[in-house]
A and B are shown apart, each in its own frame.
Chain A
Amino acid sequence: MSERAVRARVTQEVAEVIATRRVGAYQHITLVAPGVAELARPGQFVALAVGGETSGTLLRRSFSIHKVSPSGTYGGTVEIVVSAVGVGTRWIVEREPHDTIDVVGPLGKAFPLPTEPVACVLVGGGYGSAPLFWLAGELRDRGCHVEMVLGAASEDKLFGVVEARRSCDGVTVTTDDGSAGQRGWVSDPLPEIIDRTGAGVVYGCGPMGMLESITRVAQAHGAVAQVAVEESMACGVGVCMTCVMPVVGSDGKTRMVRSCVEGPVFRGDRVRWDAFDGGHARVPDDAVGAPKVGGH
């Protein structure tokens, strides 16, 4: 790793795919990326280029880091979980062992860890659970009691149930259709778990609507919510200004902040959930520099 990468805590490397396998509705990919593996913390993400140097698909795709092994057999590796939903993610899941992918990372802010061994609840929606097992390990190393709630629309869209049972003190599964675990949403069992364990922190990763409800439940039961958002990004490194969302700063003012550099992890009670609606995030009227009448 270059001196600059160490200083900057981020690197760009051409990573070889060494393993790729289907897990339910998702593809679990292992990449040799020693620089990223050495620098990464749970909650951070990587941005992958699509289709090689002359590709017409220009924008990077971002994925939260599922796991790193800084000193594996192949050198440091980074694992991600991909849901193939468009041209970019389809190209990525079609890579075979020994193919290469250009990777930039680790990016964004990691999950903040409690200084005391408090109980924590980790909530993942779909493959949003990917970074939570690594986080669970770090929390248990600090003496925290860790429970996990995994939810999805149906059983095939759950990710990591077996791994959760291995890495946590308790696991609850929910599905919208009841095909696995209890029928319903992740927010349904959450109040009981927070109360029973006396959890101080609820970590969440998944779609916006789910993160909003986790935040509401955590607040009502005396816990702090730390949520990792999934905003669409063009660059992942902080220069394109497309992944912004309205967040309240320590001065009490709302700003449109970049989820790639100031996030992806935010304190749930700082996010202006009132501004999100049907895939849009509007600029709240009281945000710094908000458009005056007539718009920008």
Chain B
Amino acid sequence: MPQGPLRILVVLPMYGGSLPIGRYCARALQSMGHSVRLFEAPLLYPAFTGLQRLGLPPAAGHQLENSFLQLVSQSIWAHAQALEPHLVLALAQAPLNRNLLQRLRRSGVRTAMWFVEDYRIFDYWRLYAPLYDVFAVIQKKGIIDELARIGQNNAFYLPLAALPDFHKPVRLTAQEKREYEADMAFLGAGYPNRRLAFRHLAGRNFKIWGSDWEGESLLAGNIQRQGARVSEEESVKIYNASKININLHSSLQTAEIVSRGDFVNPRTFELAAAGAFQLVDERSLLGGLFGADELATFTSAAELYAKIDYFSSRPEEREAYAGKARNRVLREHTYAHRMASLLDYIARQTGPWPQGAAKTDFPPELGSEFYADFERLTHKLGLGPHAPFEDVIACLRRQSGALDDLETSLLFLDEWRKQYLK
């Protein structure tokens, strides 16, 4: 573990499935006491969609697309210059182009990518992987060797996780119960194997949440909100409200509805952390993460249907599985665990973190009687217990509405020090 808090810049992708995971990483790193800045690439995404809507000739559109990505990279560089981070952590599809990665390397800033995608789907990672100091992946077989072949020797397996402060058991209001409660639920996109598997469950008390279910007429009565996207917050409520959560990993093939792939999806961890019961399809890496008594699994459509019937009438067994799975996640599979592993791995492979990194610049004018209040404040602001004073002040400046006495005092102190002491 680093000796002191680190300054970490987390670069989010502009859109897509790895975006919430980037936010969870940032929150976990903050909770560990690190000073974290998020590069909010999604804020720039409307500029891209706006460009598309301008109706420019395609050749000009392509050029502007590239210019736009240059601009995004420059914005990340500006962030990095201002923060002087010890680490830039990027999630899959984060808009760090090759020039920027080379520039960060020359500047001595360590970079890591957590590639939370199936490496077999697209090949684009090949171009960027050698330029990161560390490349973390959610698969084992094939990819680690492949990365070594292209010059990335600091590749390691880092499975997905849950954020217990967020993915947790929640009490639902009466209205929420009406909205979300179901005997069975599935949350996710309408991939071909899922469509095929779920047709058998049409007409039952089975709610399907998520997008890309167009044209699935047989399941029309099960698909909620005409396939609208569901927020992360709502997802947790859906998990909590369903007796049986079906977790079927996506596949484009329909020959077998259970694809028997390797990596374990984030939903597995999130459902477990939420204390929800799930039936999950067997994956080759699942056994290394959960015990057979912690998750109920299936290997075929027939087994899925049989287990739905079996567990529907056994609430105690569902509860036992859910409880054990939650304990396992809290013990081993949180984003804080993953981030700790990542930081340790980076230090092992690229050298120890600087001693007393990001030394807390706690002003001496604040007496020790302030410490407890200060800690409470950092917690309230979502910062780590060792967050630097300057981060606390920056965070306070961004707050809207009236500040309380302590907050105002700290802001005043900062200005006061600037005027007389700096």
**A and B bound?**
no
Task: Give me the interface of B with A, judged by CB distance under 8 Å.
Answer: none
